[in-house]
Amino acid sequence: MSAPDRPAPDRSGAARPGAPDRDAPEQAYTDFTRSLSYGDYLQLDTLKSAHRPVTDAHDEHLFIAVHHVSEVWLDLIIRELRAAMDQLALGITDAPLKGLTRVVRAQEQLTNAWEVLKTMTPADYLSFRSAFGQASGFQSASYRMVEFLLGNRHAVLARPHEHRPDLHGPLTDALHGPSVYDLTLRLLDARGLNVPAEVLNRDPSQPPQLNEAVLNAWITVYRQPDTYWDLYELAEKLLDVEDNFRRWRFNHLTTVERTIGFKSGSGGTSGAGYLRRALETVLFPELWEVRTRL
Ligand code: HEM
């Protein structure tokens, strides 16, 4: 954080005899009786108060920290995705690239979190497994929101939130609203690239299906990048997002297999088998298929 009301530091390197050492830590503000400190601004007491292991197991702390950090990144991703989608809905193609780039970078942080969690052995995990009963990331409302905004739509995935209207309401809205890809296809159509009405008016609560006419539209874009540069860039950025999503899923599965093997998940699914099937999800089918057809 900077202090705009301070004079610019003297970079001449010449310390005048008797002058205070501007680079010394004593120059920092230390009295926060009447102004906002770092911890106040960030509400660190509130943030840290949520970090409450229920056992004495050493690794429960790590387990909670990685989940908390992941949830914060997921919320940032939702915010950036929504902003990008608002711009796409207005027909803007360049500004969303900035937000989507931020999504991609945040996804990298999410994926890196597995590296820390993988230091936990099966025995470490079992030392606190009893603490969380049927709780599972399957019930992460933010993760579901990211999936719904990206277009992986299955009504059943919102069900764990039925007891929380504040979470279930926005998820249901997202389930029935356009995905980031639906909005992109509208832009394609607006450019005269002929997206069929049945795609533009499709039931948004269903996952996308590959459509030959949409594929042909993307083939045109990918064969003439100079003519359709903004759509071309947008498509590649969306592919980056899906690419990173796949990496997160894969690393999750690997971490799960090395931690609990093929035991069922705490959320009630088959565990690794369920997660392995999720690897087959395709968010933007034509953007993958276009590579084969070029
Ligand atoms: C060793 C640690 C972990 C284990 C053993 C584990 C295990 C599992 C399992 C077995 C599932 C399938 C659903 C079920 O519970 O039946 C699942 C789902 C999920 N987990 Fe984890 N998980 C771990 C860490 C994490 C972390 C750190 C996150 C971060 C947010 C996370 C997020 C999720 C999400 C979002 C799902 C739903 C995936 C989907 O439906 O496609 N998990 N987890």
Quick: pLDDT tens for 139-192.
Answer: 999 999 999 999 999 999 999 999 999 999 999 999 999 999 999 999 999 999
> Of 225, 240, 217, which Cα lies nearest the Cα of 97?
240
Q: Which 3-state string (H, E, C) describes 54-120?
A: CCCCHHHHHHHHHHHHHHHHHHHHHHHHHHHHHHHHCCCCCHHHHHHHHHHHHHHHHHHHHHHHCCC
Question: Which pLDDT score, from 0 to 100, does residue 15 have?
Answer: 62
Distance in angstroms (rounded) separating the CA atoms of residues 4 and 119 = 43
**What pLDDT digit, counting tens, does each position of 101-144 carry?**
999 999 999 999 999 999 999 999 999 999 999 999 999 999 99
Ligand 1 centre to CA of 281 (Å) is 16
**What pLDDT digit, counting tens, does each position of 56-94 carry?**
999 999 999 999 999 999 999 999 999 999 999 999 999
Q: What is the dihedral of CA 15, 20, 21, 24, to 10 degrees?
A: 180
Which pTM was predicted? 0.94
Atom of ligand 1 nearest to the CA of 147: 41
125 a known binding residue?
yes
232 a known binding residue?
no
Question: Which pLDDT score, from 0 to 100, does residue 14 have?
Answer: 59
Ligand 1 centre to CA of 252 (Å) is 7
**What pLDDT digit, counting tens, does each position of 16-56 carry?**
788 889 999 999 999 999 999 999 999 999 999 999 999 99
> Of 281, 282, 280, 286, which Cα lies nearest the Cα of 199?
286
Ligand 1 centre to CA of 228 (Å) is 39
**What pLDDT digit, counting tens, does each position of 272-290 carry?**
999 999 999 999 999 999 9
Distance in angstroms (rounded) separating the CA atoms of residues 228 and 171 = 33
Q: Which residue has the tokens 């356009």?
A: 178
| pLDDT at residue 267 tops 90 | yes
Ligand 1 centre to CA of 142 (Å) is 13
Ordered by start, the domain boundaries in the chain are: 53-293
Was domain 53-293 assigned CATH 1.20.58.480?
yes
Mutate to test the pocket of ligand 1, among 112, 262, 275, 280 (most ligand atoms within 8 A of CB): 275
129 a known binding residue?
yes
Residue 137 Cβ contacting ligand 1 at under 6 Å: yes
